């Protein structure tokens, strides 16, 4: 097979529960047909109930991972997630410029689904002032947008103004995700995009689920994967919205708290494992019979 497969580099934290972070990113990339690589920024001890511990990695190690990946495999798109502190943000900014990585999806991860804080105070200013202006698109949820804008967004009018302001601050495009309901959004999950073409709403029926861990990581990674495959920005957002919606609808119970979505909903088939197992047993039996002859 000589066909080149698009690649996406995720620069983010590791989730031991595998619902969010680089684990969710890699599952999304695989499900959407791109090759995923990683530069890990932090190691978290967490599960579906919450985050027990966080260790940010040395910035120079983050830089070394980026160099190692890009110098050999390359990166059609870069996606950032949990960056932990300003020193790591600055390393990412420097490496994006050094390697001319001009397709960048920024997911400004600040708090886990369980409410645990995942960044130091100095990271916010660094993301806002130095990383955001490099972003092809930034994908905050409502709470993250409020932190970046330093004000509450309590109505659709305020959210519309907020998403436009994120672009005015330097991002190529911005989308504020509708996972947190606001007045007037009952029964719907509406993501609001602002780009060079103006405002665009992406609305689906709200899915009430306990499996919401990693939805933000998955959404941003799906955008990155679609961009890497050559889809335009608005089409990539639409594909990501559809992917997350189906992954939520297909989720299965994991753990006692907020479980993950089902990234591989397209590939799991009832009875598939049993059929593969039966085929393998039959092949082994045939080989043994041939060897006995």
Give catalytic residue positions.
Answer: 177, 212, 214-217
Which residue, among 2, 39, 47, has the nearest Cα to 20 in the 3D structure?
Answer: 47
Burial 215-247 (b: 16+ CB within 10 A, else e): bbbbbbbbbbbbbbbebebeebbbbbbebbbbb
Please give the backbone phi and psi of residue 51, each rounded to the nearest 5 degrees, phi first. Answer: -100, 125
List, as one string, the DSSP characters of 228-246.
HTT--HHHHHHHHHHHHHH
């Amino acid at each position: 097979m000589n066909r080149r497969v698009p690649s996406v580099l995720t620069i983010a934290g590791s989730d031991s529960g595998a619902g969010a972070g680089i684990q969710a990113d890699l599952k999304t990339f695989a499900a959407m047909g791109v090759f995923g690589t990683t530069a890990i920024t932090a190691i978290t001890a967490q599960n579906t109930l919450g985050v027990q511990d966080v260790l940010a990695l040395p910035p120079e190690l983050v830089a070394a991972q980026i160099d190692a990946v890009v110098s050999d495999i390359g990166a059609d798109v870069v996606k950032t997630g949990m960056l932990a502190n300003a020193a790591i943000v600055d390393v990412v900014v420097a490496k994006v410029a050094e390697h001319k990585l001009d397709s960048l999806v920024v997911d400004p991860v600040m708090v886990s689904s369980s409410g645990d804080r995942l960044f130091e105070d100095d990271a916010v200013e660094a993301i806002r002032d130095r990383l955001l202006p490099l972003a092809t698109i930034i994908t905050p949820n409502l709470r993250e947008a409020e932190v970046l804008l330093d004000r509450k967004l309590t109505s659709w009018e305020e959210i519309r103004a907020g998403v436009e302001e994120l672009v005015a601050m330097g991002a190529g495009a911005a989308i504020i995700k509708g996972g947190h309901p606001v007045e007037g959004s009952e029964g719907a999950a509406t993501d609001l995009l602002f780009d060079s073409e103006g405002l665009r709403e992406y609305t689906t029926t709200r899915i009430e689920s306990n499996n919401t861990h990693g939805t933000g990581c998955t959404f941003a990674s799906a955008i990155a994967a679609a961009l890497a495959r050559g889809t335009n920005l608005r089409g990539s957002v639409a594909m990501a919205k559809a992917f997350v919606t189906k992954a939520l609808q297909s989720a299965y119970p994991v753990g006692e708290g907020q479980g993950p979505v089902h990234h591989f909903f397209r590939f799991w088939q009832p009875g598939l494992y049993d059929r593969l197992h039966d085929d393998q047993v039959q092949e082994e039996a045939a080989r043994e019979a041939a060897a006995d002859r």
